[in-house]
Amino acid sequence: MSDKKKLNLVNIIFLTTLPIVSLIALPVWLKSDSYSFKTIVLAIVFYVLAQLSITAGYHRYFSHKAYEAHPLVSFFYLCFGAAAFQGTALKWSQDHRRHHRFVDDIEKDPYSIKRGFMWAHILWLFYEGDKRYNPEEVPDLVKDKLVMFQHKHILKFSVFFAFVLPMLLGSIWGDALGGLFIAGALRLTINHHSTFFINSLAHTLGDQKFSNKHSSRDNFITTVLTFGEGYHNFHHEFPSDYRNGIRFFDFDPTKWLIYSLSKLKLASNLKKVDQEIIMKKMAIMALINFESSYKTFEFLSLSKKHMSKVCSYLKDNVENTFKKLKDLKKARIITVSVNEKHKLSKQIRKARKEFNSSCKLLFGMIRRFENKIEHDSQS
């Protein structure tokens, strides 16, 4: 902690001056002769590229290794990740791995929400962290030559991709200053706070559909701002999954990008957690959430004792059918006999059906109880 108490003046000045400069520059630019709609498009393009390089690159690839990326893709992430001015992929990943390992620990989680919303959002950056990276925490990344190259030249990377490049592009249509202040500074401010909201807002407000063992939450606002990172409760439970929004229609453009890259042979080995494991977590958590809500009701026609008994049956049912399915899957991996494998596959199909039915029963019963509670509360 002692090193954290030392203020990081460069970060303080940069992170406070940037939004002020951006907000002053915006009305001035809008009224200026050089104003161009092309600059707005440029700002949006840079926002998208920088944000996706943080989400698909710094986060899901470098920090979690949720998939393998082609070196060209990796290099693209390092360039446009630098445009988001959030330090090097190496240090970002080290902090983020600590955040997952020690989530909510007031000392060891670098942006622990337990130190307050503003600490998790931005204040943690106002203090000096570790000056050097620890190779033991990022052993895979220290072997990556591109990552180490970016780490060594981060300031040049960041200044060029965040400010110089948009300024040069803006100068093509005579709006170099718009490129610098709008597609550079203003766009970067929004990039910053969108990412920062994952550490603050997505640890404060939203649903806990997968676990209540940590403060992370699924938060829709942050999902939109960060192209899918707001399914944060899922992510903390299953950090190696390349998806954060698991249903195909969940707003997770980062997942769609990674999937598209895999179709173009630019990404491979996309990691996905077993659907049954996810389903079991969701079922148990739905029951926990329901139990904590019905216990506050005093005017039920159903007795709490009866509800408690039913809930405990539903939970056991899901856990037992899940265990049976898991054991059968394990046995199929171990066995060498083809006949035995065939027999086990049949049993797995049957066990999967039983497990799905047990989850359906649980969700159905919760719905019925909730309807009953609503009916009781109105009468």
Q: Shortest approach of Zn ion to residue 216 CB, angstroms?
A: 5
Q: Shortest approach of Zn ion to residue 201 CB, angstroms?
A: 11
Asked whether 283 and 366 are in contact (CB, 8 A), the reply is no
Q: Shortest approach of Zn ion to residue 62 CB, angstroms?
A: 11
- What are the structure tokens assigned to 185, written together? 């500074």
Q: In terms of CB distance, is 171 or 204 closer to Zn ion?
A: 204
Q: In terms of CB distance, is 246 or 373 closer to Zn ion?
A: 246
Q: In terms of CB distance, is 158 or 216 closer to Zn ion?
A: 216
> Alpha carbon of 377 to those of 286, 291, 295, 317: distances in Å?
21, 17, 14, 29
Query: How much is the CA Rg of the chain, to the nearest whole Å?
Result: 25
- Please state, as a whole number, how many other Cβ atoms lie within 10 Å of the Cβ of residue 84: 28
Query: How far apart are alpha carbons 197 and 226 in whole angstroms?
Result: 9
Q: Shortest approach of Zn ion to residue 108 CB, angstroms?
A: 14
Count of residues interacting with Zn ion (CB under 5 A): 1
Q: Shortest approach of Zn ion to residue 349 CB, angstroms?
A: 34
Interface characters, 182-221, with Zn ion (x: CB under 5 A): ----------------------------------x-----
Q: Shortest approach of Zn ion to residue 271 CB, angstroms?
A: 13
Q: Shortest approach of Zn ion to residue 72 CB, angstroms?
A: 24
Q: In terms of CB distance, is 53 or 216 closer to Zn ion?
A: 216
Q: In terms of CB distance, is 103 or 366 closer to Zn ion?
A: 103
Q: In terms of CB distance, is 216 or 321 closer to Zn ion?
A: 216
Query: How far apart are alpha carbons 224 and 209 in whole angstroms?
Result: 19
Q: In terms of CB distance, is 195 or 216 closer to Zn ion?
A: 216
Residue 230 DSSP label: T
Helix (H) or strand (E) holding 69: strand 68-69
Chain position carrying tokens 């991996």: 333
**Which amino acid is it at 369?**
F
Which long-range contacts does 346-350 make (Cβ < 8 Å, 24+ apart)?
none
Q: Shortest approach of Zn ion to residue 257 CB, angstroms?
A: 17
Q: Shortest approach of Zn ion to residue 97 CB, angstroms?
A: 8
> Alpha carbon of 17 to those of 22, 143, 186, 191, 297: distances in Å?
8, 36, 11, 15, 51
b/e per residue 171-184 (b: at least 16 CB within 10 A)? eeeebbbbbbbbbb
Sign of CA dihedral 28, 34, 36, 41: negative
Q: Phi, psi at residue 244, to the nearest 5°?
A: -110, -40
Q: In terms of CB distance, is 267 or 359 closer to Zn ion?
A: 267
Q: In terms of CB distance, is 189 or 195 closer to Zn ion?
A: 195
> Alpha carbon of 205 to those of 99, 233, 374: distances in Å?
18, 11, 24
Sign of CA dihedral 118, 60, 98, 148: negative
3-state secondary structure of 176: helix
Which residues here bind Zn ion, judged by CB under 5 A?
216
